[in-house]
Structure 1
Amino acid sequence: MNTKQQNIRSLSLTDLEDYFLSIGEKKFRARQVYDWLWLKPVQGFEAMSNISKELRQKLSDRFGFPALTIDTTQHSEDGTIKSRFKTVEGYLTEGVLIPTDERKTACVSSQIGCSLSCKFCATGYIERKRNLSFDEIYDEVVLINQQSMEVYDKKLTNIVFMGMGEPLLNYRNVLKAIEKITSPDALAMSPRRITVSTAGVAKQIRQLGDDQVKFKLALSLHAANDKKRHEIMPINDTNNIQSLIEALNYFYRQTKNEITFEYILFNNFNDSLEDADELIKIYRQVPADLVNLIEYNPIEFAKFTKPSEEKVDVFMNYLEKNRVNARLRRSRGKDIDAACGQLANKGK
C-alpha cells in the first residue's frame, strides 16, 4: 500500500456513495464495497468478486486497504487457537480463540507490544511499536470469527480486550473498533458481550464513563496494596489503588456497566489470607460483580511461580466465606503460549 493513499475503511457508507457518484458509477456499488470491507474477511480489492475488474483497479489506484493477515496459526490440545497477525508493514500481534461448550470468545490485542512493563506478562517485555488502528482491531475479530465458524461451526459469542497492549492507551481506536463490531451494518454484536480489560488508567476509566460506553470493564488488579502492586505493575506509580477505586465508582455511576476485578495468584507474593483481606476491602468499595482469580502461567522472563492447588482453594474459599463473588479462571492454550500473560509473538 502506498502510505499516501487514503485508507478506504476510513470512509463511511455515505462517503463511498459520494465517491462512486463522482466517478459516474451507480450508488449501489457503495453498498457492495462496504459489505466487502466490513462483513466479509477479504484482504484486498481483488477479492471483491461482484465488482468489475476495471472498478477494482480504480479503487486500488485511489485507496489503500491495509488489512491484517494471518501469519501463523497454532492449535492447542484443549481446542484453543492462537493466531499471529501481520500488518501491512510487517509488524506482528496476536489474538486467541477460546472455545468452551457455551461460548466462543475472541481475545484480541490493541497494540503492537506494550509500554507498561508488567513484570509477570510476556507482552510487557516487548517494546511497543505502535497502536493498532480501529480497522486492524476489527480485522482480528473478523478473522477469529471466521476460524470459529470453520472449526466449531459457531460464531463468536464474546470478545475480550485482554491480548497484547493496554486498550485505554489506544482509547479512540478501541472505541471506534467496538462501535463497528456492534454496528448493525457490520458484526452486530451486543456490547454486553464485550469486555475491555485495563491495567488501570484512572483518567481513561473516567472518560469511559463520560462517553457512556455499553461494554463491560475489567481491572487487572493482581495485588491489593500499593507496595506490592508497584513491584509488579509500574503503572501503579501514577494510578494508585485509591485513584482506581474512585475512577471505577465514577464509571459505574455514569454507565451502570458490569465491573470485574482480575487477580492473578502468585506463589508467596499475593496469595496469603492477609492479601485476601486487602482484596475484600477493595471489593467492598466498588460495585464489582466478580473477582476473577486467574491461574498464573509462568514465562521465561519472570521469577514468579504458581501457588499449589491447596493454597488456591484456601484463598478462594476465604473470599466466598466473606461473601465475595469469586470465580477461578483456568488457563487455556498454555501448550501454545496462548494463555493469560503469555502472548509474545512466539508463533512457530
Structure 2
Amino acid sequence: MKSDKKNIRHLSLPALQEYFGSIDEKAFRAKQVYEWLWLRHATSFEAMTNLSKDLRHKLEENFVLPAVKVDATQHSNDGTIKSRFRLHDNHLVEGVLIPTDTRQTACVSSQVGCSLSCKFCATGYMDRKRNLDFDEIYDEVALINQQAMEHNGKKLTNIVFMGMGEPLLNYKNVLQSIERITAPDGLGMSPKRVTVSTAGVAKMIRQLGDDKVRFNLALSLHAANDKKRSEIMPINDSNNLKELMAALNYFYKETGNEISFEYILFRDFNDSKQDADELIKIYRQVPADLVNIIEYNPIDNARFQKPDAETAEDFMDYLAKNRVNARLRRSRGKDIDAACGQLANKG
C-alpha cells in the first residue's frame, strides 16, 4: 500500500527548518536531521541518536525514509564488486565498484531497466520500469563508497553514470543526485570526478550546456556512421551523428567540460581501417579529450563477438598514428557479469 507520507529526503534544509518551526522545535534540529540524512547516511529515524525519542517518533509518524539496501554482492577475481540494490518498491538495480591502483570508481544506475534497446547491452533487453529518484542514486554511491572503504581502505575517487538506464532521460534526478554527491554537506566529491554517459539525446546534451553543469560527459558512440549506429542503437534514428556533434560542441562552448567517446569494438562490424577513419573524422569534429576503446563483453541474446587481439591492436595503432588520444579499456568484473554492457539483474 502506497504511503501518503512525504519522503523526508525530498525536503530541502529550509523546508525542514519550516517543519521544525511548525512543531515548535528549535531550528538547529533541522540541521541535525539534514546531516543524518546526507553526511552520515542514516537509513532510519531510529539511527538519529542525538534526537530525543519523542522527536524521532514524530518524524516516523510524519515522514518516510525509503533507503536503498544491498540485496546481493558478487566479488570478481580482479577486485571488482557488483551489488544488486533493492529499492523501496522491490525493484532491483545494479551498481559496481571498480578499484584500480589509482582510482576507486563507482558505476551507478539511473533507471530500472532502459527504454533504448541498444543491441549489445544486456540492460537494453529489459523494459524500463521507472526512473530512480535522486536520493536513490545518492544511496547507490554512498553504499559503494562504504564498500570501497571496507575492502580497500579508500574513499571513492570517481563516479560514472554508466550503469542501467539512460541518465539524460532521467535528467532532473540525475542532476539533483550529482548536486547532493558534490555538496559539502553531501559526499563532497568534485564534479570533475563525475562522468555522465549518454547514448545520445541531443536536446538534453544542449540542456546540460544551458544549465552550465560542471561534470564531464561521455557519448556512447560505438559506430561512426549513421547506418551502422542506427543498426545497433535505435536512438540514432532520432538523434543522428550530425545533431549529436552539434550538441556536443554547444555543450563544450557553454561549459568547457571534458568530453569523451566510448567505442566498443565488435568483430567484423566496426573494427576495420575504414571504421577507424570514420572515427577519426568524428573525433576531429568535437574538442574531445579521449576515445575509450572498450573490449566487447558477450551477453545472452546478442550476436556480437569481440575481435581478436591483433585486430584490436592494429585499430589502436592506427588511431595513435593519426593523433587520436585513445585508450584501450580492459574490462573488469567479466567473471561476475559486471563489465560494460552486462548489467541485467541476473544476480
- Could you say whether these structures have the same fold, taking a TM-score greater than 0.5 normalized by the shorter chain as the test? yes
Matching residue of 1:34: 34
Q: Which amino acid aligns with 2:264?
A: I
CA RMSD of aligned residues (A): 0.9
Residue in 2 that maps onto 1:193: 193
How far, CA to CA, are the matches of 1:50 and 1:69 in structure 2? 24
- Give me the whole-angstrom Cα distance separating, in 2, the residues matched to 1:32 and 1:149: 24
TM-fit CA distance, 1:2: 4.8
Q: Give distance in 2, aligned partners of 1:119 and 1:96.
A: 22
2:14 paired residue number? 14
Aligned length: 347
Gaps of 5+ in 1: none
Aligned to 1:151: 151
Deviation of 1:182 (Å): 0.8
Q: Which residue of 1 aligns with 2:135?
A: 135
For residues 189-213 of structure 1, give each alpha carbon's deviation from its aligned partner in whole angstroms, at most 9, with x where no partner exists: 1000000000000000000001000
- Matched with 2:183 is 183
> Amino acid of the residue matched to residue 187 of structure 2?
L
Match of 1:47, SS state, is: coil
* 2-structure distance, mates of 1:325, 1:235: 26
**SS of 1:74's equivalent?**
strand
Q: Does 1:211 align with 2:195?
A: no
Structure 2 CA distance, aligned partners of 1:196 and 1:212?
A: 14
Partner of 2:260: 260
Q: Could you say which residue in structure 1 is the equivalent of 2:285?
A: 285
Residue 92 of structure 1 pairs with residue 92 of structure 2: yes
Deviation for aligned residue 1:18: 1.9
State the AA in 1 paired with 2:53: K
Give the fraction of aligned pairs with identical amino acids, expressed as a percent: 73
Paired residue type of 1:306: K
Matches of 2:20 and 2:2 in 1, distance apart?
Answer: 21
Instruction: Look up the match of 1:305.
Output: 305
Residue type at the aligned position of 2:99? P
Aligned partner of 2:101 in structure 1 is: 101
Match of 1:160 in 2: 160
How far off is 1:3 after superposition? 2.6
User: How many angstroms does 1:42 deviate by?
Assistant: 2.6
Displacement of 1:49 in angstroms is 2.0
Deviation at 1:53, TM superposition (A): 2.0
Partner-residue secondary structure (3-state), 2:85: strand
3-state SS of paired residue (2:296)? coil
Which residue pairs with 1:50 in the alignment? 50
Report the equivalent of 2:224: 224
Instruction: Give me the TM-score of the superposition, normalised by structure 1.
Output: 0.98
CA distance in 1, matches of 2:188, 2:73: 26
**C-alpha deviations, 1:255-285, integer Å up to 9, x for none?**
1111000000000100000000000000011
Contact 1:105 1:157 (C-alpha < 8 Å) held by counterparts: yes
Alpha-carbon distance in structure 2 between the residues aligned to 1:266 and 1:342: 15
SS at match of 1:253: helix
Contact 1:43 1:69 in 2 (8 A): no
Letter in 2 for 1:136: E
Q: Within 5 Å, which residues of 2 pair with 1:53-132?
A: 53-132=53-132
Within the alignment, does 1:234 sit opposite 2:234 as a pair? yes
Aligned AA (2:58): K
For residues 60-92 of structure 1, give each alpha carbon's deviation from its aligned partner in whole angstroms, at most 9, with x where no partner exists: 110111221111111111000111111111000
Q: Distance in 2 between matches of 1:202 and 1:18?
A: 40
Counterpart for residue 317 of structure 1: 317
Secondary structure at 2:197's aligned position in 1?
strand
Q: Which runs of 5+ in 2 are unaligned?
A: none
* Corresponding residue for residue 271 of structure 2: 271
Contact 1:2 1:64 (C-alpha < 8 Å) held by counterparts: no
| TM-score in terms of structure 2 length | 0.98
2:309 and 2:144 map into 1 onto residues whose CA distance is: 32
Superposed, 1:328-347 pairs within 5 Å as: 328-347=328-347
Could you tell me how far 1:31 is from its partner in structure 2?
Answer: 1.5
